[in-house]
Amino acid sequence: MSEVLVVIDHAEGEVKKPTYELLTIARRLGAPSAVFFGSPDQGDAVAEKVKRYGAAKVYVIDDAPIKGFLVAPKAEALQQLVEQASSNGDLAAILLPSTFENKEVAARLAIKIGSGLITDAVDVSAGSDGSAVTTQSVFAGNYTVQAKVTTGTPIITVKPNSAAPEEAEGAGAVEAFAATISDAAKGAQVVATQPRQSTGRPELTEAAIVVSGGRGTGGNFEPVEGFADSLGAAVGASRAAVDSGWMPHAFQVGQTGKTVSPQLYVANGISGAIQHRAGMQTSKTIVAVNKDPEAPIFELVDFGVVGDLHTVLPAARQQITDRSA
């Protein structure tokens, strides 16, 4: 069976959900091998996690020598791994979670190995010849495009929430991979980092529930945040709320923000502009609270509440608190 490389998304060995989604997708194309850039000390623990989603092998690439050197060393290491994997057998695809960093790594890798690249796929399946066929949502979600790579080994970055992670037992055999990193790849180095203050809430793109607020909040996000916390949800915002300086850009959902696809999306005081829809319309269940019964968001929803969010959300929060008491 062909091998499929899946680059693990993690924070200090804590594997993130998009990795499990990618391993699930990879099994449609061949036998997944996970690629872990991190500390070799964490390799076994990471392998234990990813093998539950079908990883047959886990390549561990010690990131100590490349830490802080931006993306070029990762692309170089992957190039060498791809060359080894290709010489050992058939390599069906290389899948990476669609993060800003991974998209740059993927682009550099594509040039190095002479392969085609598809970014921001929302689904990947096996075509009639077994090769990877991707689905992408383009032009603010107005079109869905099916595409395939026609040159080299397909390199595909996949957006979070593109598949429900499905468990499958894999061998999870750990294999250390020693990459040789050139001086040229270490041409730029990070000199300082400042972690964003943690909100204690789930990551927006990974959350099962997202509660968003728009211009209708009038700048008071307390009802939105309070309701989100009662559900253990992430908080999102429309561009109008971000442009008004009420929320940072990291919270923006939409065409020029993040794409979310949670089980439940609650839009509060958001009109439902096409650019906002582009980032949330694949949510499983959509609820809107808006005081205007004609608001376009109501065309999209499964449940709609016509009312003032400053009244509706605290009341809903109270109901949830009472029921869970």
Return contacts of 270-274, CB within 8 angstroms, 24+ apart.
Answer: 270/212, 270/213, 270/214, 270/215, 270/216, 270/238, 270/297, 271/214, 271/215, 271/295, 271/296, 271/297, 272/296, 272/297, 272/298, 272/299, 272/300, 273/238, 274/140, 274/141, 274/142
159 binds ligand FAD (CB under 6 A): no
Report the alpha-carbon angle 258-260-264, nearest 5.
145
List, in sequence order, every residue forming a beta bridge with 268; answer none if it has no partner: 213, 289
Give the one residue of 133, 228, 247, 295 binding ligand FAD; rule: CB under 6 A: 295
Site for ligand FAD in 115-134 (CB under 6 A): none
- Amino acid identity for residue 289 in this structure: V
47 binds ligand FAD (CB under 6 A): no
240 binds ligand FAD (CB under 6 A): yes
SS3 assignment, position 311: helix
Tell me how far, at minimum, the Cβ of 305 lies from ligand FAD, in Å: 9
241 binds ligand FAD (CB under 6 A): yes
Which part of the chain contacts ligand FAD (CB under 6 A), choosing from 28-36, 72-80, 188-196, 238-246?
238-246
Task: Go through the chain and tell me how many residues it has.
Answer: 325
With beta carbons less than 8 A apart as the criterion, state whether 244 and 319 touch: no
Label residue 88 exposed, middle or buried (CB < 10 Å: 0-12, 13-18, 19+): exposed
Q: How many Å separate Cα 185 from the centre of its chain?
A: 26
Tell me how far, at minimum, the Cβ of 315 lies from ligand FAD, in Å: 13
Please tell me the distance from the alpha carbon of residue 314 to that of residue 188, in angstroms, as a whole number: 49
Tell me how far, at minimum, the Cβ of 104 lies from ligand FAD, in Å: 21
Candidates 129, 100, 130, 134; CA nearest to 117 is 134
Tell me how far, at minimum, the Cβ of 237 lies from ligand FAD, in Å: 8
Tell me how far, at minimum, the Cβ of 277 lies from ligand FAD, in Å: 9
Candidates 56, 71, 60; CA nearest to 37 is 60
97 binds ligand FAD (CB under 6 A): no
Place of tokens 């790849």: 185
Which part of the chain contacts ligand FAD (CB under 6 A), choosing from 16-24, 115-123, 172-180, 237-245?
237-245
259 binds ligand FAD (CB under 6 A): no
Give the one residue of 90, 101, 166, 292 binding ligand FAD; rule: CB under 6 A: 292
Give the one residue of 65, 273, 300, 317 binding ligand FAD; rule: CB under 6 A: 273
250 binds ligand FAD (CB under 6 A): no
Residue 70 or 250: which CB sits closer to ligand FAD? 250
Binding flags for ligand FAD, 192-231, as an x/- string (CB under 6 A): ----------------------xxx---------------
What are the residues binding ligand FAD (CB under 6 A)?
A: 214-216, 238-241, 252-257, 269-271, 273, 275-276, 279, 289-292, 295, 308-310
